[in-house]
Amino acid sequence: MNVISEKEYSFSNALFWNVMLHHHIQAFDEERDVNFDEVWDEELVLTLLDKKKYKKYWCWLSQIDLKTSENQGEIENPRTLTLPIGSDIVLTIEFHPCCTYYFLNDTLIGEVSGNFHLKYLTYSELMRITKEKYGDVLFHLLLPLSAIREQEKGIALNAIIQRLQQIPLFKEHSAYIGKCILNGLLISNSDIQEIPKIGTICTSNHSYRNALVYDDERQEIKELNILLSRL
């Protein structure tokens, strides 16, 4: 496994966290009616980050030079980030030229690509994870895969903004970034459900936790529910 070092996801590494910010692919500026990444890339980040250095870093992280017509950008030995979540769960993030995959243990929980799948973790699960070792880093890594119900948006917004200030790249614009990120994470209160013999599911579009759609994945969802409930 091609594991990246801890220094890569240090909060001081603006290049890495700019990559992760772009995993919030549904972040949206409601007031300007525009996707967040357009505002960030074309206005805000220009004075904070060297565009050439960022492009070079992304090429290194994704190993884009290994992309071919045969592999379609999904490579055999991607750069990988791994972190424990408590004693029974390991987060693995694989960076491919075409996409980024998120796993909890061996279960695929998220995909950032043209065929994206996000919205897996509930807000309460995310906040329990923050109490584990590496909790601050895990919050930012897993936030793009979180589903926040309308009834939680007030408290969630405050937590997101506060934690964005941990990362120097985001500190100046933390309130704006937080609002846009939250817009992309919101779901209806009814999208999080408890069903017999499986536990928590998420019926939002593009969620791998939707056991009503991914019938073959029911056992994996059930087993992961048990582990997440122990945190």
Give the tens place of pLDDT for each residue, 147-196: 999 999 999 999 999 999 999 999 999 999 999 999 999 999 999 999 99
- Whether the per-residue pLDDT at 206 is higher than 90: the answer is no
In a domain, 66, yes or no: yes
| Amino acid sitting at position 49 | L
At 69 the pLDDT is: 86
Show the tokens assigned to 9.
């996801």
- Whether the per-residue pLDDT at 140 is higher than 90: the answer is yes
- Whether the per-residue pLDDT at 121 is higher than 90: the answer is yes
In a domain, 127, yes or no: yes
Confidence of residue 214 (pLDDT cuts 50, 70, 90): confident
Range of 102's domain? 2-186
Report the Cα 195 to chain-centroid distance in Å: 25
What's the number of domains the chain is made of?
A: 1
- Whether the per-residue pLDDT at 1 is higher than 90: the answer is no
HSE-up (13 A, CA, CB side) for residue 149: 13
In a domain, 120, yes or no: yes
In a domain, 53, yes or no: yes
In a domain, 206, yes or no: no
Confidence of residue 83 (pLDDT cuts 50, 70, 90): very high
In a domain, 117, yes or no: yes
pLDDT > 90: percent of the chain? 92
Q: What is the largest CA-CA distance in the chain?
A: 52
Angle made by CA atoms 230, 80, 53, in degrees to the nearest 5: 130
Q: Which CA distances in Å does 133 have to 86, 112, 162?
A: 7, 25, 19
In a domain, 161, yes or no: yes
HSE-up (13 A, CA, CB side) for residue 35: 10
Polymer length of the chain: 231
In a domain, 162, yes or no: yes
